[in-house]
Copies of this chain bind each other. A is one copy, B any other.
């Protein structure tokens, strides 16, 4: 007799009802060719006895299998495996559970995007994380946002409206944004020029996918926000790097390149270039606009950091100038409220927005309409404005506080230029010290390190004064220890 007791597994402690476990076991046995088509199965009484369970449980399992077409039940006569199960090549039965198929690799050809994926941050959370410039979520009006979100989900009208029209972003968020961009940036747009995305990166990706192809060339700063470069490479374009100095990207160099080869797009981060935090000066802004006109290239203006400028008002975006529609303007709320809140935007001519929408609907349909409407409510009620005003003051203070701390504690180890805005200071470590080694401290995590330049972005916005002191303290201790090590090595010679 067939060893059902070895084929059918169940665990009374499992969350899955026993009858389903039995049905699954039998299904697996059929799938594996152990039980062939039309094989007669034991009667319910017999199987119940073999397995030491109640007969009703077996009946329930058989009913389930019957309903799903795996077996044929002729009441009071017999139970057998259905006739039309294609017989797979029988396999040797492996005692124990079926091995998980997902333990295998996928052995079909597929595209490799990245040779080595960096390990995700380990599960343990260190005392201090130095990010590359995140807002302090503790200051953000998240509670207000969620209160509105919640009230929206309980209103009938909102339920209907949140379902529709969200590929472009909800109308109310686009309306609020048109007014916000006009007031803060002198940017003259309409709801048709706006696309709400999951953040600045998605706007870059969409623009890259539509503007660039295999033969295209795009100019970027060197160094540059690395994920933007990846988006351009993903579109198949050749990425041409142009130096970024203390006034921003070198527009004279761009002019020379444009004279030699066809350039399709230039990507700039005019406020607080990533990673070096430089602001693009006025002369170069003008020049860039002029070049864009002369050589017919699109400007992808990533202005993610516009709202935090501490000296004067920030420069108006290139997108606010007279550019005849060839500036794709990109911004995000992740830097204003919460990096976890995935809402960003693109401002572009209507014909381009329409195509971005078409592509976006293929990528992920749409965003979270409730969250967008809740954000619109926050903007219309003035809470966003007053949050930015408050946060700006606090971040300004934190920047100065960190500046003083760095001067006091780390002057001999680091160099930097205090940025006029943004949420991070670009800090270069003196060549005698290794940043990679410094970052090994388990009590401290530096989230983005540029090993090539022995430098990192010290995000000061998300840490309060005590935390900044703690972070600098941990850096100081590490550097002193390294210095000791260096001194020891010298002494030993």
Chain A interface (Cβ < 8 Å from any Cβ of B): 14-16, 20, 23-24, 27-28, 31-32, 63-64, 67-70, 82, 84-86, 88, 91, 97-98, 100-114, 117, 120-121, 123, 125, 129, 131, 134, 137-138, 140, 142-143, 146, 149-150, 153-154, 157, 159-168, 171, 183, 186, 188-190, 193, 197-199, 201-202, 205, 209-211, 213, 227, 230-231, 234, 264, 281-283, 286-287, 289-290, 296-298, 311-313, 315-316, 319, 321-327, 338-342, 347-352, 354-355, 357-359, 361-371, 447
A86 and B290 in contact, given A110-B211, A313-B20 (Cβ under 8 angstroms): yes
CB distance from A141 to the nearest CB of B (A): 10
- Residues of B contacting A209 in the complex (Cβ-Cβ under 8 angstroms): 111
- Assess the B183–A15 pair: CB atoms within 8 A: yes
- Residues of B contacting A137 in the complex (Cβ-Cβ under 8 angstroms): 153, 159
- Assess the B88–A352 pair: CB atoms within 8 A: no
26 A–B contact pairs at CB < 8 A? A16-B186, A23-B313, A24-B316, A63-B312, A64-B313, A68-B313, A69-B283, A101-B188, A102-B193, A105-B351, A108-B211, A108-B298, A108-B326, A110-B210, A111-B210, A111-B355, A113-B362, A120-B164, A121-B165, A131-B163, A142-B154, A198-B198, A227-B365, A231-B363, A338-B370, A340-B368
- Residues of B contacting A86 in the complex (Cβ-Cβ under 8 angstroms): 283, 286-287, 290
CB distance from A176 to the nearest CB of B (A): 13
Q: Which of A69, A85, A326, A358 has the most CB of B within 10 A?
A: A358
- Assess the A350–B287 pair: CB atoms within 8 A: no
- Assess the A354–B117 pair: CB atoms within 8 A: yes
- Assess the A324–B142 pair: CB atoms within 8 A: no
Residue of B63, B91, B159, B287 touching A138 (CB-CB under 8 A) = B159
Complex Cα distance, B117 from A352, in Å, reads 12
CB distance from A351 to the nearest CB of B (A): 5
- Residues of B contacting A371 in the complex (Cβ-Cβ under 8 angstroms): 340
CB distance from A154 to the nearest CB of B (A): 8
CB distance from A341 to the nearest CB of B (A): 7
- Assess the A67–B159 pair: CB atoms within 8 A: no
- Residues of B contacting A111 in the complex (Cβ-Cβ under 8 angstroms): 209-211, 213, 355
- Residues of B contacting A117 in the complex (Cβ-Cβ under 8 angstroms): 354, 357-358
Report the nearest B residue to A329, measured CB to CB: B102
- Assess the B165–A70 pair: CB atoms within 8 A: no
A351 and B20 in contact, given A282-B85, A342-B364 (Cβ under 8 angstroms): no
Q: Which of A123, A125, A364 has the most CB of B within 10 A?
A: A364
Complex Cα distance, B154 from A125, in Å, reads 17
- Assess the A201–B362 pair: CB atoms within 8 A: yes
A150 and B160 in contact, given A68-B315, A349-B102, A363-B201 (Cβ under 8 angstroms): no
A364 and B198 in contact, given A111-B355, A146-B149, A357-B117 (Cβ under 8 angstroms): yes
